[in-house]
Amino acid sequence: MKKWIAAASLTLSVTALAACSDEEASEVVVSTNAGDITKEELYQEMKTTVGEQALQVMVLEQILEDKYEVSDEEIDAEIESMKEQYGGQEQFDMFLSQQGYTEDTFRDTLKLNKLQEKALIEDVEVTEEEIQQEYEQMQKEVNARHILVQDQETAQNVKQQLEEGADFTELAKEMSTEPAAQETGGELGFFSAGDMDPAFEEAAFSLEPNVISEPVETSFGWHVIEVLETREAEVDSFEEMKDEIEHDLKLAKADRTQASAMIQDMMREADIDIKDEDLATTFDAFLSQPEAPAEEPAEEETEDTES
């Protein structure tokens, strides 16, 4: 992502220079006692170094903006939320600086990301029941501990030892592959919906306190979980949170493996015509991929009738 945005921040300059008249192109942008650099020379250098990447970003954003809308208010809300998470403006500015962004270029990042999100989730469906269930989970916080191991057989063995009276903390320190387990004994503290791996979270939120879970598989390995206690969480009303929950659920359901194919299809539909010969091959990698075969409609079954 960072690479794409770095290119995007340069794209505006490249595009502006491309439209210059001869007089503007010869305008000096830097002068030293060793010589001058004109707008045209700068454009040619930028085109050589980041031209294709910058053009890809610009065209993608233009295509997405033609179909979807991201308002300044959405970006403002995201920025303010991140400032709160980082503890204020100063800490947020430090984060941006460490990542190589200014607030303006970071806003560009968020806008492009949100445009791509809207394209990705356009056809994803979420039911009212799913939204309500997620909201109910958000009203509860869980204090849990776990033991993480590499395979299901080991997880079953851990579960059996715990049920036979083994000390959870000591067993976690002995067997857990989690780096922090030696210090924490597998304790995670309180967490709420959306904080953990979905499979882990689903298991933890369905457990009663002091019950050992069946082994739960996540991308990290196999977990044996015990919930120590639960408590109510302070959240906004359902109506205030409904849209955000729906968006997050759709994003979780979306098939991200289809993102590249979706972008390729949109590029083809855009009928891209590059006027600059030096950039003529910019989209070859996108457009040369074979199109996904369209699904054939299922044939309707017909009953044989005697005439």
Rounded distance between C-alpha atoms, residue 281 and residue 25, angstroms: 24
Q: 249, 134 in Cβ contact below 8 A?
A: yes
Q: What is the pLDDT of residue 207?
A: 94
Q: Where are the domains of the chain?
A: 2-122+256-287, 140-232
Rounded distance between C-alpha atoms, residue 251 and residue 221, angstroms: 23
Give CA 223 to chain center in angstroms: 25
CATH of the domain spanning 140-232, picked from 3.40.50.11540, 3.40.50.80, 3.10.50.40, 3.40.50.280: 3.10.50.40
Instruction: List helix spans (H) across the chain.
Output: 2-18, 22-25, 39-67, 72-86, 89-99, 103-120, 128-138, 152-163, 168-175, 181-184, 198-206, 238-253, 259-269, 284-287
Please enumerate in sequence order all residues whose Cβ is within 8 A of that of 65, keeping only pairs 6 or more positions apart, or say none.
115
pLDDT tens across the length of the chain (307 residues): 333 333 333 333 334 444 455 666 678 888 888 888 888 888 888 888 888 888 888 888 888 999 899 999 999 998 998 888 788 899 899 889 988 899 898 998 899 889 988 988 988 999 999 999 888 888 889 999 999 999 999 999 999 999 999 999 999 999 999 988 989 999 999 998 878 888 999 899 999 999 999 999 998 999 999 999 999 988 889 999 999 899 988 988 888 777 778 888 888 888 888 888 888 888 877 766 655 555 444 444 444 444 3
Instruction: Give me the amino acid identity at 209.
Output: P
What the block records as the tokens of 267 is 């590029």
CA-based torsion, 257, 261, 266, 267: positive or negative: positive
